[in-house]
Structure 1
Amino acid sequence: MPPEPLMLDLRPHLRPGDGVWWSQAGAEATPLVDALLDQVGDLGPVRAFCGLTFNPRLRDLPPQLTLTSYGAMGELRAASAAGRLEIVPAHYSVLPRLFAEGRLPGDVGLVQVAPPGPDGRCSLGIGVDYAGDAVRYSRTLIAEINHRMPAVAGADTVALGDFAAVVETDRALPEAPDQGPNAVDRAIAAHVAGLVRDGDTVQIGVGALPSAILDGLAGHRDLGVHSGMVSDGVARLVEAGVVTGAHKEIDPGVVVAGAALGSGGLYARLPEMPVRFRPASYTHAPAVLARLSRLVAINSALEVDLTGQTGAEVARGRCLGGVGGQADFSGAAARTGACSIIALRSTAGGASTVVPALRGPVTTARADVDVVVTEHGVAWLRACPLSERGTRLAAIAAPEHRDALLAALR
């Protein structure tokens, strides 16, 4: 058994005014983040950056901590609602550059890693994504060595001696198992499945709707995956022989992603699967995505307006998401790939998600949206003039909202 985690004094490693970042989602170094929250009052003002977090302590931030993110995901939504979260509206592909230029907090990195291998290096495991780039530009690295973090093949590694301090843990990784899809999700999934061809390379997110879409692809053959995250749904398709990557122009035979988020069973199986975790500077890079000529980007949104613009950041005046990688993948799929799909439920809280005009910022431009899908059908927008787009989109809105949308068009 590994030793109990040690109480870590951060004072030797942080200076007043320093910028701190930490890994996100299943790879978040929660004990180190908690130590920072406990000690920040004695450390002086600290700037911090993180992505998706499940740590409830980040709902109510200490006054000495200024937190920045690329969106309001998970527990950061509460901090955003309280006016305590600074959001940088950046494409995910730009995050590596922002760390390199020192424009994001990056003096000290808090990472969760697997135990060192025979070569003395620690794998970033299931959470490479922006951490794989940020570690290159950090003055100081502090590690949580978690004995349950899998050392996934192909993941970036850090030499044990490069860490200024370490703590050891033996804790389960945060899980986000598949949510059961409902009839609406399955209807959307059936429409999306008809747009994907055998041999295509798919990008898709995590959640109930993406899970339903992945299950809806079970009848396809030789699909590839190049995405920001992999989930249990991707693993099921790999194990069923649906995802083989046989026709990928780059990384053939391999699922490429930045991170994994799913069940404990997924994390346990990853070391034996043909999955390679790569940093954001690869997974989201325009030059890399342009080489995938059969890329199908499947993304969602909070709203779509009658010209095809999508909003995935703000709903009803609240920040509920971020730019993330949607524009990176949608743009690549629309310009040099096979198809850019926006899939969403036709209503949210009784309100139509197809709207006359977005009530928040434009996340993905209408020129980068080929198809919009709801449970009511498919609206093809590629090469569709503006004079026809509104009619096509109103036709796939919830029936009770169509008349109002058509009236708005007139």
Structure 2
Amino acid sequence: MLRDRVTKRSVQWSDLLRSGERIFIGSNASTPSAMIDHLIANAGPLRDIEVCHLLCLPENRWAYQENSKLFKVNSFFLSGATRDAVAEGRADYTPCFLSEIPRLFNEGVLPLDAALIMVSPPDEYGYCSLGVSVDINIAAVRSARLVIAQINPKMPRSNGHSFIHLEQIDAIFEAEQELPTIPSVELDQVTEQIGQYVSLLVKDGSTLQLGIGKIPDAVLRYLGNHRDLGVHSEMISDGVIELMKKNVINNRKKTFHRGKTITTFVIGSRKLYDFVDGNPHIEFYPSEHVNSPVNIARNDNMVSINSAIEVDVTGQVVADSIGYRFYSGIGGQVDFIRGAALSKNGIPIIALPSTTRDGQISKIVAKLTEGSGVVTSRGDVHYVVTEYGIAYLRGKSIRERALELIRIAHPKFRQQLLESVRKHYWVPEYQEQTPTNVPELGALDIKPMTFDGEEMYLRPLYPADERKLQEFFYSHNKETLLMRYNHTVTELSREKSCNLVSVDQQKDLALCLIKRIDDGEQIEGVGRYYFNRQDNSCEVAFVVKESQRGKGMAKALLNEMINIAKSRRLSKMQAYVRPDNRPMLKVFEHYGFQQRLDGDVDEIYLVLEL
């Protein structure tokens, strides 16, 4: 029964609403479905009511064709029924950052005549909780002329800024209703691989923003060995439960809302809803607070993880549309990408599979699909992750971005992408090689390593490393250049550097040791071998920065190259070293290289039989 809160009398919907008014419907798992069903069944003469809302679960009956005379839909985030209605021209989609939607209500851009929400029963002080979805619900409550609430005993009582008093409610509809749940999804190999790559970017003490779906679940699965993580996220899902119980997520290192997991809504299982019920360690705040880029940036080491529908080779991100068909919404992606970018040591990430589910269409594209809109600009993107690796775009030129993104595209599309970007002279002709991986390094193509307490990682040289390799070369002193090349080399041109990083890693080998600096990368050591088909051998060489010597980096590079050469069944490894280069000779001798006579007094010829 719908009743007036003050008089307790039964009222009709036509007593509360008028045709042509604008109403708001509560978000996500807090959609007051029982009350909406009652409205549809008892609308009487009401017509043309505009409905504004975010994602609503489990279904949006007001968007069905049969209810088109009663409701006109204007959604900020699309799902099944609203997606179809917009595609058919029966509904509208209004793109807006989640952090700014409350201002549309508060400033009268979209004034609300009524807010239809779902709350918990009141406590002894008369306060109801907005439960699992505070987000823009609280802004709607504060700005609407009328507040009509479904009181649901199944709604958890969440902590934070989630409470409204009975006096703020004009009419009540009491109905018990199970909250909609999201079934757990079995992770596939592609998603697992993405999760592992993203986890490599998360350092101990980071604060996380995670969405819902397979990729966030995969990331959380690979964070079990991390320490002192925090959460500041527009939403959380089931994956945080075990990490909070294991003390992996404890929020101790957060620099904003220290000690608390901060969110604005949750979607998941009943277990998750029970977990947040009265939990003092989780606090819910309005979206204008949680999603404010300024507030997000107050967390040092902020890691933002968002997905996309497609990304072009310049870094433009499409996230709310497939061609001309609007699919979802802007949501909080831009809020958190920008907030993480502003954070001290922040890491904004776009993570997506390299292809569509059937593997027939690349999600890394030379140009955006006609009709698609850019949600996150190329200037905002720092990291893009697929199952083929991590592309770092910040501060990169268009050429470097294209090479980085082609590297993490599906291998069957890489040559096609390279040919496409060449047409616009984004990548020069002398950049010959499309990227190849080194399977012997493992599924991730990356190996974390520690030298003298300093964290680095071993990976192949990539085509986009051309500038980093130049910087590495010019960091050497004359003695290093003489020892490495047996004569004093004075320059490394862009063309030559491109040639050195354009390696067919299935035949030759070029590895580097990388150190992260601020939000970028720096080469600290390089090892490579060149394959000799005539006798199934290879010639090997390596060089390490002067400042890093004596830490075991040269041995690590050579050891890895020996293991790879053995796995590829090469017959032997060869090296030529100056007689006065004792440190390099000692490294080769450590791994069993034997000196052989070849008649050249300027160099010592070394061989390792495999």
**1:317 shift after superposition:** 3.1
CA displacement, residues 257-292 of structure 1 (integer Å, 9 cap, x when unaligned):
110100011101212531101101111113212212
Indicate how the Cα distance of structure 1 residues 23 and 334 shifts in structure 2: closer, same or farther if over 3 A, else same. same
1:153 aligned partner, one-letter code: N
* Structure label with greater radius of gyration: 2
Counterpart for residue 275 of structure 1: 282
Counterpart for residue 302 of structure 1: 309
Normalising by structure 2, we get a TM-score of 0.65
Counterpart for residue 335 of structure 1: 342
CA displacement, residues 29-88 of structure 1 (integer Å, 9 cap, x when unaligned):
112222333345611321110111222523434224211111323432222222222111
CA displacement, residues 150-172 of structure 1 (integer Å, 9 cap, x when unaligned):
11122421211322211212221
Does residue 390 (structure 1) correspond to residue 406 (structure 2)? The answer is no
- Among 179, 182, 192, the residue aligned to 1:186: 192
Q: Do 1:343 and 1:374's aligned partners in 2 also have CA atoms closer than 8 Å?
A: yes
Following TM superposition, where does structure 1 have runs of at least 4 consecutive aligned residues deviating by more than 6 angstroms?
A: 4-8
Identity of aligned residues (%): 37
Q: Could you tell me how far apart the structure 2 residues matched to 1:271 and 1:198 are?
A: 28
Q: Could you tell me how far apart the structure 1 residues matched to 2:240 and 2:82 are?
A: 27
Q: Could you tell me how far apart the structure 2 residues matched to 1:46 and 1:140 are?
A: 14
1:408 aligned partner, one-letter code: S
CA displacement, residues 299-353 of structure 1 (integer Å, 9 cap, x when unaligned):
0000000011100011143211111110010011123341110000011142110
Q: Could you tell me how far apart the structure 2 residues matched to 1:39 and 1:394 are?
A: 56
Q: Do 2:292 and 2:339's aligned partners in 1 also have CA atoms closer than 8 Å?
A: no
Does residue 173 (structure 1) correspond to residue 179 (structure 2)? The answer is yes
Counterpart for residue 345 of structure 1: 353
Counterpart for residue 443 of structure 2: none
- Among 353, 368, 372, the residue aligned to 1:358: 368
Counterpart for residue 95 of structure 1: 101
Counterpart for residue 387 of structure 2: 375
Structure 2 unmatched ranges of 5 or more: 4-9, 423-610
Does residue 47 (structure 1) correspond to residue 50 (structure 2)? The answer is yes
Q: Do 1:37 and 1:62's aligned partners in 2 also have CA atoms closer than 8 Å?
A: no
Q: Could you tell me how far apart the structure 2 residues matched to 1:236 and 1:177 are?
A: 17
**1:103 shift after superposition:** 2.0
Q: How does 1:231-270 map to 2 (within 5 A)?
A: 231-270=237-276
Counterpart for residue 439 of structure 2: none
CA displacement, residues 7-27 of structure 1 (integer Å, 9 cap, x when unaligned):
962111112221100111110
Does residue 131 (structure 1) correspond to residue 137 (structure 2)? The answer is yes
Q: Could you tell me how far apart the structure 2 residues matched to 1:177 and 1:233 are?
A: 12
CA displacement, residues 219-249 of structure 1 (integer Å, 9 cap, x when unaligned):
1111111111110012221112111111111
Q: Could you tell me how far apart the structure 2 residues matched to 1:382 and 1:155 are?
A: 36
Counterpart for residue 211 of structure 1: 217
Structure 1 unmatched ranges of 5 or more: none
Q: How does 1:29-178 map to 2 (within 5 A)?
A: 29-40=32-43, 42-53=45-56, 54-57=58-61, 58-60=63-65, 61-104=67-110, 106-178=112-184
Q: Do 1:49 and 1:105's aligned partners in 2 also have CA atoms closer than 8 Å?
A: no
Indicate how the Cα distance of structure 1 residues 62 and 35 shifts in structure 2: closer, same or farther if over 3 A, else same. farther
Q: Do 1:293 and 1:336's aligned partners in 2 also have CA atoms closer than 8 Å?
A: yes
Does residue 292 (structure 1) correspond to residue 304 (structure 2)? The answer is no
Counterpart for residue 224 of structure 1: 230
**1:105 shift after superposition:** 5.1
Q: Could you tell me how far apart the structure 2 residues matched to 1:134 and 1:258 are?
A: 14
Counterpart for residue 418 of structure 2: 406
Q: Do 2:294 and 2:339's aligned partners in 1 also have CA atoms closer than 8 Å?
A: no
Indicate how the Cα distance of structure 1 residues 372 and 275 shifts in structure 2: closer, same or farther if over 3 A, else same. same
Q: Could you tell me how far apart the structure 1 residues matched to 2:158 and 2:243 are?
A: 19
Q: Could you tell me how far apart the structure 2 residues matched to 1:328 and 1:5 are?
A: 38
Q: Which of 1 and 2 has higher RCO (CA within 8 Å, sep 6+)?
A: 1
Q: Secondary structure at the match of 2:177?
A: coil
Q: Do 2:68 and 2:90's aligned partners in 1 also have CA atoms closer than 8 Å?
A: no
1:340 aligned partner, one-letter code: P
Q: Could you tell me how far apart the structure 1 residues matched to 2:417 and 2:64 are?
A: 37
**1:391 shift after superposition:** 1.0
Q: Could you tell me how far apart the structure 2 residues matched to 1:32 and 1:102 are?
A: 26
Q: Secondary structure at the match of 1:111?
A: strand
Q: Could you tell me how far apart the structure 2 residues matched to 1:45 and 1:256 are?
A: 38
Q: Could you tell me how far apart the structure 1 residues matched to 2:44 and 2:177 are?
A: 27
Indicate how the Cα distance of structure 1 residues 100 and 56 shifts in structure 2: closer, same or farther if over 3 A, else same. closer
Does residue 28 (structure 1) correspond to residue 27 (structure 2)? The answer is no
Q: Could you tell me how far apart the structure 1 residues matched to 2:11 and 2:177 are?
A: 17
Q: Secondary structure at the match of 1:351?
A: coil
Q: Could you tell me how far apart the structure 1 residues matched to 2:275 and 2:343 are?
A: 33
Q: Do 1:177 and 1:232's aligned partners in 2 also have CA atoms closer than 8 Å?
A: no
**1:363 shift after superposition:** 0.4
Superposed CA RMSD in Å reads: 1.7
Q: Secondary structure at the match of 2:186?
A: coil
Q: Could you tell me how far apart the structure 2 residues matched to 1:261 and 1:8 are?
A: 32
Normalising by structure 1, we get a TM-score of 0.95
